[in-house]
Each structure stands twice: as C-alpha cells, then as structure tokens.
Amino acid sequence: MKSLKELLDLRFGDAGAVPDSLAGNEALRRLAGRGVVRRFKPEPVAPGVLDTLAAVALSTPSKSDLQQRDILIVEDAAIRGRINELLKDQDWIPGCPHILVFLGNNRRQRQVHEWRGHAFANDHLDAFFNAAVDSAIAMEGFIAAAEAAGLGCCPISVIRNHAEEVSRLLGLPDHVFPVAGLGVGIPAAPAFVSARLPLGLTVHRDRYTDATDETVRAYDRRRNGIFPYRAQRNVAKFGEAPEYGWSEEKARHYAVPERADFGAYVKRRGFKLE
C-alpha cells in the first residue's frame, strides 16, 4: 500500500515533502490515491447507500447558502435504457449499476422571489454560473463520500451532448440543467492513479505564472513513462504523431467542436448569459 507521499510523487512528479502532521492521514491518502472507476461488479449498492451519500454530498459548501443544486437518481428502467442508448459511445455505461445526474438549479431561487414578492434582480450569467459551480461541488462531495464507502465513480459530461433530450427525459423545468452524470457502483478493479501536471505549473504563489511548451512536454514524457496512450486520437484527421503525449491528445480532442450548441440550450432553459 502506497503512502501519501508516494502517491503524490507518482501523481505529480514534483510534490514536495509531506509534513509529519499529515503523513499518516488516511483520509488524505485515500483522496490522493483516487481515480475514476469505469468497470463495476454487476450487483447494485445496498439499499439506502445512494441516499446517504447524496445527503453527505449536499453537505458541501453552497454559494451564499443558495443551495442551487440537486441530485437526480435514475431508477426507472425505461429512463435508464434511453440514457444507455444516448451514451452508447461510452462502452462502460451499460455495465454501470447506477447513474445519477447532478443538476444546477436556479429555479428554486426564482420561485422564492415569486413567493416572497421580491424582484429577481440577478438575471445574468452569474445565475447560471453559481448553480453550475454548486452542482459540481456537490458532485465532488458525492465522489469523495462514495470512495470513502468503498465505491467507485466516474463523472459523465457526455450527458450534456444530449442536454435537450435528457432534460425532457428527466422532466427538468426551466432554470434546471444537467451539469454531469455520475456512474456509481462497486469497483471490479482498483482505481488507477493518473499522473497530473506538475504542481509547479498548477499551484501558484502570489502571482500567476504561465506554462511553457517545454514544461508541458516534460509532463508528457513523465506521464508516458507511467502509462502511455494506447492509441492516438483521430489518426484519420491528424495522422500518426512520432511523439504522442497528453498535450497532443488534448489538443486533438478540442480541435474538433464539442457541444457547440450548449450555450443555446442554456438560453432555452431561460438563462441570460450576459
């Protein structure tokens, strides 16, 4: 079993010393050693577990205590079947025992204004942004709680590739929108610790410092030394790269438009994004 220090070294390559006060902390060790799980045992989790985890997830901070996020647990077989169909490009989804959808919910806030007779004077981008952030925080709360309970999870942003149909399917009214799905179940194999960008690039002190091509290339090489990509993305369009790492993979990924209609969907949900 790897220590917190060993996990952070593996993850980042440049993690400094871990203070003695934290070195033996089991909660931190578990968080540092986490990874998404996409292969699950077929059996469902025990009754009540998802509800308890949802309660823990909704105990996370919420912007101004506005509580603009909800969790939808998919139980109906027909709804689940349609979600599987919509997400058929993700081969792991059918084998995942539970799918949840984390929602941003700015509707309740607007209802409260109506009920209490006050104008809603914040109908701009922040209304959408705050609800999205609140929802993401709850999702991470759920993931941390589920992992602490021995379960595995994988977020599902591709659910937003079908935001309109998913909204109809789940009966989402205006100002309620899916932020991400979450697959949950009992892991069939331990999670893999994926190498992240060095902390020298992502933790700043006092002033922001930009990444350089060379530091990102060094990360590509370190990461490939641990777990190289099995195949290059979209070779038909971009060809076979002699050196293929994280940066080439991510640049290829976003060289092709994805969810370009999401802004239009969010506006149709009733949000003003100015």
Nearer to ligand FMN, 194 or 215 (CB): 194
Q: Residue 101, interface with ligand FMN (CB under 6 A)?
A: no
Q: Residue 158, interface with ligand FMN (CB under 6 A)?
A: yes
Q: Residue 161, interface with ligand FMN (CB under 6 A)?
A: no
Q: Residue 35, interface with ligand FMN (CB under 6 A)?
A: yes
Q: Residue 155, interface with ligand FMN (CB under 6 A)?
A: yes
The stretch near ligand FMN (CB under 6 A) out of 30-38, 114-122, 209-217, 244-252 is: 30-38
| Minimal distance, residue 8 CB to ligand FMN, in Å | 13
Q: Residue 59, interface with ligand FMN (CB under 6 A)?
A: no
Vertex 98: Cα angle to 132 and 228 (nearest 5): 75
The stretch near ligand FMN (CB under 6 A) out of 101-109, 152-160, 169-177, 211-219 is: 152-160
Bridge partners (DSSP) of residue 103 are 70, 178
| Minimal distance, residue 156 CB to ligand FMN, in Å | 4
Interface residue with ligand FMN among 111, 157, 202, 234 (CB under 6 A) is: 157
| Minimal distance, residue 35 CB to ligand FMN, in Å | 3
Alpha-carbon distance of 248 to 244, in angstroms, equals: 6
The stretch near ligand FMN (CB under 6 A) out of 108-116, 126-134, 154-162, 199-207 is: 154-162
Can you give the three-state secondary structure of the chain, one letter per residue? CCCHHHHHHHHHCCCCCCCHHHHCCHHHHHHHCCCCCCCECCCCCCCCHHHHHHHHHCCCCCHHHCCCEEEEECCCHHHHHHHHHHCCCCCCCCCCCEEEEEEEECHHHHHHHHHHCCCCCCCCHHHHHHHHHHHHHHHHHHHHHHHHCCCEEEEEHHHHHHHHHHHHHCCCCCCEEEEEEEEEECECCCCCCCCCCCHHHHCCECECCCCCHHHHHHHHHHHHHHCCCCCCCCHHHHCCCCCCCHHHHHHHHCCCCCCCCHHHHHHHCCCCCC
Q: Residue 36, interface with ligand FMN (CB under 6 A)?
A: yes
Per-residue x/- mask for ligand FMN, residues 79 to 98, rule CB under 6 A? -----------x--------
Interface residue with ligand FMN among 100, 180, 197, 201 (CB under 6 A) is: 180
Q: Residue 178, interface with ligand FMN (CB under 6 A)?
A: no
φ and ψ at residue 155, rounded to 5 degrees: -65, 160
The stretch near ligand FMN (CB under 6 A) out of 33-41, 53-61, 95-103, 105-113 is: 33-41
Would you tell me which residues interact with ligand FMN (CB under 6 A)? 35-36, 38, 90, 154-158, 180, 194
